[in-house]
Amino acid sequence: MDPKSVLLTDRVAIVTGGGAGIGRGIARGFAAFGARVVLFERDEKSGRDAAAEIEREGGEAFALTVDVRDGEAVAAAVSTTVERWGRIDILVNNAGGVFAAPFLETSEKGWDALHRANLKHLYHCCHHVGRHLVAQGTGGSILNVVSIEGVRAAPLYATYAAAKAGAINFTKTLALELAPHGIRVNALAPDICVTEGLRALMPPEAMERATRTVPLARLGDPSDLAGAAIFLASELGRYVTGETLHVDGGTHASAGWYHHPDVGRYVYGPPPAAREPTGESTT
């Protein structure tokens, strides 16, 4: 065991949706550990800004404006990556999207849109990068960023949850198919992670309530996902494939249990502020 095994020196990593949030955090983490990072980002400005940030921090990065729902665009971007840096070693499928809606009010168009954003793009990216990795013959690592919603019921998010569940099973199956080529395929499943988008949607008091549901007593940060991604992409994770790693502060394990701030022990149910009034103080 060598401490240098965690380094990603000179490896080329593609991170989709790398311009913001979890993708940006993973991209920065990879660069800090020596990888050359290519950001596939639909928003040109955020991709460019993220690449510039990585370079200011001493890393190597460039951004390509790519809609990963478009197979031809992905193929072109993969070719550009190889032309620029000669190889690909790591793929992180982080791009995605979500909206809340009762299932019976979800249109077929809405269903298709969420599956294109959260599942079909895995086909495009894994297909084109996977073929390159096999031809390259040096192994590699593919990471799919999924969600805790892929393994639990998710009212108002049935379509999204179905797509993420599909991504989890796809991860397992692709891991077996690519294992003979030395290519490992794993997934990262966050729960509540504080990103720019979450800050815009969730007021501070809602974040404080959500924190009570997390056994480690804080919400996630993109750097938490970056640490897990570095482990799985590096030689430290060389014997791990087909797995979904929950990076969620323990919420998957808790399954509804939370540490009550008043009684000082675990109780089952919603946080105090979400309970129906009982005449007793719960805060």
Domains, the chain, ordered by start: 8-252 (3.40.50.720)
| pLDDT above 80 (res 280) | no
Assess whether 239 carries a catalytic annotation. no
How would you label 51-77 residue by residue, b for 16+ Cβ within 10 Å and e otherwise?
beebeeeebbbbbbbbebbeeebbbeb
What pLDDT does residue 271 have?
Answer: 55
CB 92 within 8 A of CB 26: yes
Considering only CA atoms, which of 92, 46, 104 is closest in space to residue 68?
92
What pLDDT does residue 270 have?
Answer: 65
Q: Which two tokens stand for residue 253?
A: 């394990």
Q: How far is CA 274 from CA 213, 253, 263, 277, 282, in A?
A: 11, 21, 16, 9, 10
Confidence of residue 210 (pLDDT cuts 50, 70, 90): confident
Residue 48, helix vs strand vs coil: helix
Residue whose tokens read 């495009």? 124
What pLDDT does residue 256 have?
Answer: 83
Query: Which of the residues 157, 160, 258, 268 is marked catalytic?
Result: 160
Calculate what percentage of the chain has a pLDDT beyond 90. Answer: 80
What is the pTM for the complete model shown?
0.92
What pLDDT does residue 272 have?
Answer: 54
Between 61 and 192, where is the model more confident? 61
